Amino acid sequence: MMPLESEKATATVSITGLALGCYNKCTQNYEVGFLRHDTHNLTIEVTKRLPGGDSTMMYEIKDYQHRIFIDAENAVAPEDPIYMKGDDFDRKQVPQDKEDFRWIIDFDSDLNEGNPVDIKAPDVPVTEMYISKPRLYSDKDLMTEDPHLLVRLDPKSGDPIPGEDPELFGFFTEGIKADITCRNGGAVILRVDGPQGFQVNLPHGGAPHQITIKNICPPKAANDGSATGEDEDLEPTDFRLFYSLIKDPQGDKFDIKPPVNHGEGAVCNGSTLTKRDGLFPLPASTG
C-alpha cells in the first residue's frame, strides 16, 4: 500500500455531514449522495492557493436541481484508490493510523454482520456528486475522541428497542477525504451543473487547493444545561436519517450515539458502501 502524499495533490476534497459514498472501479469515480433533509444545509467552500495569497469562495446549494462534479484534467490515476494500512483493523481499538479509510462507517460491513445493504428509492431529494480519480482516506481531524455505542432500533417505530442495552461500536471519523493529483499543466475542475451552475478551475502546482463540502445542521443554540446524562441518552442522532436511502436486508436499523456525558449528541457523518459497483442511478420512486 502506497503511503499518502497529500502535500503533492492538486486538490484535496473534504466531505462531512449526511453523505453516502461508493467507489466505482469502472469509472474511477467516488460517487456521493447528499441526503437533503430539511434540517441540513449543503455548502461548498473552495480555497484556491495563489502565489499572491489564498482566495476563498463559499457556495450554498439550496435547491435539488444541481449535480456536482469534481473533474481532473491530465490526472494521475492512483494505484491504490482506497488507503488502508495493514490487514488488522479493529474499530474498538484506539486508532493508530487515523487516515485509514476503514475508520469511515461502512454500511455494508460495520452494522449487519458483513451483509451488504440495499439502496431504495430515497424518501428525500439526493444531490449527486462525482469525484474523478481520487485517493480516498479518513479525515483524521474529525475522528471521535471516544468509542461510540450502537443502538438497535425498532424497524417500525424507529425508537430504541425497550430493554436492549447498546453495544460498543467503537471509533470512527465523521469526514471523508479525497486527494486528486494532476500532472504539470493539469487542473482539478469543480463543476456544478444546474440552473445556478458554475465552474472553478484549480490548476496543478504549489500547495493543494481545498474543496470542503458539508451537508450538516445549522449551529444549535447553546445548551442550557438541562439535558445531560440520562436525558441525552434518549436523544436520536442524525445517523438514523441514512435509512431514508438504505435498507438493511434483514430490516434492521441502528443509531450511533456517543457515551453518556459525552457532550455533543448529534452524529452527522459521511459514510460509505464498499460492496457495490456504484451508487447511481438510484431507484426511482413508484409513488
State yes or no: pLDDT of 39 exceeds 90: no
Distances (CA, A) of 211 to 157, 241, 286: 38, 25, 36
Spatial distance between the Cα atoms of 177 and 12, rounded to a whole number of angstroms: 7
Which residues 6+ apart lie within 8 Å of 1 measured at CB?
Answer: 80, 83, 84, 85
- How many angstroms separate the CA atoms of 111 and 253, rounded? 9
Q: What are the two backbone dihedrals, phi and then psi, of residue 151, each rounded to the nearest 5 degrees? A: -110, 120
pLDDT band at 225 (very low <50, low <70, confident <90, very high): very low
Q: Give the pLDDT confidence score for residue 264 in this predicted structure.
A: 53
Q: Residue 203: is its pLDDT beyond 70? A: yes
**Do the domain assignments include residue 278?**
no
Give long-range contacts, CB 8 A cutoff, 24+ apart: 118-121. Answer: 118/246, 118/247, 118/248, 118/249, 119/245, 119/246, 119/247, 119/276, 119/279, 119/282, 119/283, 120/245, 120/246, 120/247, 120/283, 121/282, 121/283, 121/284, 121/285, 121/286
Q: Provide the Cα torsion 217, 223, 226, 230; round to 10°.
A: 50
**pLDDT per position as a tens digit, 140-198:** 999 999 999 999 998 888 889 988 899 999 999 999 999 999 999 999 999 999 998 99
Whether 229 and 258 have beta carbons less than 8 Å apart is answered as: no
Please give the model's pTM, rounded to 2 decimal places.
Answer: 0.92
Examine residue 225 and state whether it is found in any structural domain, yes or no: yes
Residue 34 lies in a domain: yes
The residue among 34, 269, 83 whose CA lies nearest residue 173 is: 269
Only one residue has cell 431507484, namely 283
Taking 60 as the threshold, does the pLDDT of residue 231 lie above it?
Answer: no
229, part of any domain: yes
Provide the sign of the torsion angle of the four alpha carbons 242, 244, 250, 254, taken in this order: positive
CA distance 105 to 142: 13
Which structural domain, as residue segments, surrounds residue 41? 6-273
Enclosing H/E stretch for 193: strand 182-193
Q: Contact, 66 vs 197, CB < 8 A?
A: yes
> Is 201 within a domain?
yes
Q: φ and ψ at 95, to 5 degrees?
A: -60, 135
The reply to whether 282 falls in a domain is no
* CA dihedral angle for residue 201, residue 204, residue 206, residue 207, rounded to 10 degrees: 70
Q: Residue 128 CB: number of other CB atoms within 10 A?
A: 17
Confidence at residue 271, expressed as pLDDT on a 0 to 100 scale: 97
Tell me: pLDDT of 137 over 90.
yes
In DSSP terms, 70 is beta-bridged to 131, 190
In a domain, 71, yes or no: yes
Q: Which residue has the cell 435547491?
A: 63
Strand arrangement, sheet containing 11-17: 55-60, 41-48, 209-216, 11-17, 175-180, 135-138
Q: What are 267-282's pLDDT values in tens digits? A: 789 999 999 999 999 9
* Cβ atoms < 10 Å from Cβ of 229: 8
Q: What is the mean pLDDT of residues 55-83?
A: 96
Between CA 183 and CA 210 the distance in angstroms is 17
> How does DSSP classify residue 134?
-
Separation of CA 228 from chain center: 28
Number of domains in the chain: 1
C-alpha cell at position 207: 500547495
